[in-house]
Structure 1
């Protein structure tokens, strides 16, 4: 786990105390949850911090907003969480678009996985091992415990550290240098403290891995390959190795611990390879390079790898607008499985990219019967309806989904377009403000709602909703200013 993620809890919790006076941390009136860390920063406070932190990450880092990638990493994450010792914490799992190998945890159950981890994992058990390790950091409350250890740090130093948190996610080397510059000996103490955390996260993470029917050796296997490959980095090792220090003893302990579990046949999903290939198809300098890369993978693929490689190749061909070749690959995929969500979405997207909206929507209609309320389908269908000039239909699809499912920034982005294009400008503005807020542009969200308040035709119900949201946005803005994020 990266140092900055641990230090987030330190500075953010202190900065939540009411300004302008900075009360001593021992005077914070927080509930005791049965351990010393719980008396310093409560789970509720961590959740609030995490939500604000996530919005800042969305504003400053490049997140994989592909609904299928998001659905997969959330599914994998919650499969692991359901087998942890603490299932009360809510989590947000997301993928950072960065081929550097790294992962991190932050307050409030925020877990980020770089796309480089998915690309370089050879099995789903290896990826699950990394995610389980980060989950263990949260279930063991390492964030809050680090705060307890560092509670005597000065406020200016803490504020400086907070400013480098997001920088560390976006530019790990620069962020780490910033932390070192402001923290000095305190940061070194934090490094020493986290070594024990890393060992505990390995142990607890492996237990979660085994309970979830993954190969317990996946964690050690990933660590071993990382250590071997680091010899070729010539001083520029993967960020994971710098923030999750690997030693021969640590890897040996992980391997020995894995061997204590009874042999199992891991329950790995085909979705892992499909998502891995999709990420590869969307990586590289340009679409043509991705096509070449995926063609090589397909040509070299064996047995069970052929279908995922073909799928990645089809995605790359679509990106490169080589539609005829993409159709050939998708036809083969659908002959293999004509109900696979990934294949159907790829087929519909191929039609939509050629402006064959009727054909695309027909595929979505069939999918709706098979997978109602599947988020990637809902968003893709609404987007295609908008492109086809059917905003009222898009609005209906989104509103129906939103009545019984969690909503997010992509949902509100599409809803804003649908409402506006359907002639409901005020509702469109309200949805746009929600979108801006969720991606971290809180100031713009406030401006949008204040502008909307002055529009003719606004009704009482809309005014009450706007007033409530403005109050929440203002509180969020003040919180982020205090946190310097």
Structure 2
């Protein structure tokens, strides 16, 4: 069940985890004002590397089993070709229709929904994944931060020298020396900035070449990647206000594109399209995302009734669910199931329609069916537990609690899963588990203070030293902003 439902959440991605070893004491310095300036400058430079910072640590994230599984299918051979260990990189969906992707560290890759919505072929998405993988495998993020630090050191040294020259000039009564000091400071700052930006351009070109190698090793065409980057190069001719965010964060001068084009077109796989089965999956996911992120009338214009393809029927079923309600939408979803009875995502959609339509007990069966075709998926298990809890059937509570706990062990980032576990445990009289689950749910939503209130309550009821007690204790040590 996609979290494009009525329960949309903004999740705090970064929060400070407890450090069990004592932090080293910072070295004392008399240059406090310079140190503060240096630190602020470094943090500003790092926002180029981790755009998360521009949203005050928060991004509108979404979860969808079908989309995430498709992206993992795209990325798996690329990660293997790059020599990244299985499971190292988590792909995270951002609920934003602009075309953008970025990696803030070696473990997470953020992909806007707009990347998939804009891409007509799998290769266009795979090319973006390959490029971002190039940054991870090349250790560019760590090195880029060091480059930023080095660039700021140049600037700070210039400011110190400039300030010294200005002070000496003032003491000698020489206005010319003061102006010279200011000019020196400004010049060194510009040099530092140019140094960092040049390093960033080098890393972008390096990621391009790495992406081409990964595509060659996996016998995939670089045509989709080239198409995406050609658009970026064209956008560079226009004002920044019209440029796509991906082009801004991944600058693409025409000469860099031309170098990429020459090498890409030499690939023996250049004109080989994606397998038909993969293209079909791509079109299904695009149709689904389009339907969930646009008004039903807009969906029907893009996928009119005369379009009898399965992706079009999928989009119209989602639009009907959002516009018409359960009575009219479920027959449309059942028609999809009859055409493709082994598709777990159709049963998931039916379960969502029933759950949101006020029929949670009826939603249990389609969620079970979805798990029959996609066993062990934690998101589907969360929604099965959700339907069981919402059914208000006391006999289902023990199973709901068990299913939710099993799901959350595999996927601890589900705020909805912890919220439903809290309800199930509370109704069963297990208040300690209910309080801890509430704390975890609030924490995953970014409400640290609220999470700590419930963690404090849970800790008092839990046995000291147990994993649950330790979890509550860890939550209490997180520093709220």
TM-score computed with the length of structure 2 as normaliser: 0.73
Distance 1:19 1:89, change over 3 A: farther
Deviation at 1:360, TM superposition (A): 2.2
User: 1:161-206 deviations in whole A, cap 9, x for unaligned?
Assistant: xxxxxxxxxxxxxxxxxxxxxx865444322211111111111112
TM-score computed with the length of structure 1 as normaliser: 0.72
2:285 to 271, 275, 280: 275
2:440 to 429, 434, 448: 434
Q: Distance in 2 between matches of 1:417 and 1:184?
A: 57
User: 1:208-234 deviations in whole A, cap 9, x for unaligned?
Assistant: 234345422110011224445777878
What residue ranges of structure 1 are gaps of 5+ in the alignment?
1-7, 9-15, 24-48, 158-182, 285-289
- Alpha-carbon contact 2:78-2:218 (below 8 Å) kept: yes
Deviation at 1:352, TM superposition (A): 2.5
1:418 to 424, 441, 448: 424
Match of 2:97 in 1: 99
Distance 1:351 1:453, change over 3 A: closer
Match of 1:69 in 2: 67
Match of 1:465 in 2: 467
Mapping 1:72-83, distance limit 5 Å? 72-83=70-81
1:245 to 243, 251, 255: 251
Match of 2:119 in 1: 121
Distance 1:336 1:385, change over 3 A: same
Q: Distance in 2 between matches of 1:22 and 1:409?
A: 42
Q: Distance in 2 between matches of 1:392 and 1:316?
A: 35
Q: Distance in 1 between matches of 2:138 and 2:379?
A: 33
Q: Which has the larger radius of gyration?
A: 2
2:378 to 359, 375, 379: 375
What residue ranges of structure 2 are gaps of 5+ in the alignment?
1-13, 15-21, 30-48, 157-188
Distance 1:192 1:82, change over 3 A: same
Distance 1:237 1:54, change over 3 A: closer
Distance 1:325 1:223, change over 3 A: farther
Q: Distance in 2 between matches of 1:307 and 1:451?
A: 51
- Alpha-carbon contact 2:439-2:452 (below 8 Å) kept: yes
Q: Distance in 2 between matches of 1:307 and 1:233?
A: 40
Q: Distance in 2 between matches of 1:421 and 1:64?
A: 29
Q: Distance in 1 between matches of 2:120 and 2:451?
A: 42
Q: Distance in 2 between matches of 1:234 and 1:138?
A: 27
Match of 1:137 in 2: 135
Distance 1:414 1:370, change over 3 A: same
Match of 2:303 in 1: 298
- Alpha-carbon contact 1:56-1:440 (below 8 Å) kept: no
Match of 1:393 in 2: 399
> What is the RMSD computed on CA atoms of the aligned residues?
3.5
Match of 2:412 in 1: 407
Match of 1:41 in 2: none
Distance 1:294 1:227, change over 3 A: farther
SS at match of 1:94: strand
SS at match of 1:106: coil
Q: Distance in 2 between matches of 1:233 and 1:421?
A: 58
Mapping 1:309-388, distance limit 5 Å? 309-388=312-391
Distance 1:451 1:359, change over 3 A: closer
- Alpha-carbon contact 2:361-2:388 (below 8 Å) kept: no
- Whether 1:452 and 2:450 are equivalent positions in the alignment is no
SS at match of 1:262: coil
Match of 2:184 in 1: none
- Alpha-carbon contact 1:117-1:127 (below 8 Å) kept: yes
Deviation at 1:316, TM superposition (A): 1.8
Q: Distance in 2 between matches of 1:115 and 1:233?
A: 24
How many residue pairs end up in the alignment?
Answer: 401
Distance 1:318 1:231, change over 3 A: farther
Deviation at 1:384, TM superposition (A): 1.2
Q: Distance in 2 between matches of 1:232 and 1:127?
A: 24
Q: Distance in 1 between matches of 2:120 and 2:224?
A: 9
User: 1:269-296 deviations in whole A, cap 9, x for unaligned?
Assistant: 5332222222212224xxxxx2122212
Distance 1:372 1:428, change over 3 A: same
Q: Distance in 2 between matches of 1:216 and 1:384?
A: 44
- Whether 1:221 and 2:227 are equivalent positions in the alignment is yes
SS at match of 2:96: coil
Higher relative contact order (CA closer than 8 Å, sequence separation 6+): 1
Q: Distance in 1 between matches of 2:365 and 2:86?
A: 41
Q: Distance in 2 between matches of 1:134 and 1:467?
A: 39
- Alpha-carbon contact 2:130-2:215 (below 8 Å) kept: yes
Match of 1:12 in 2: none
SS at match of 1:113: strand
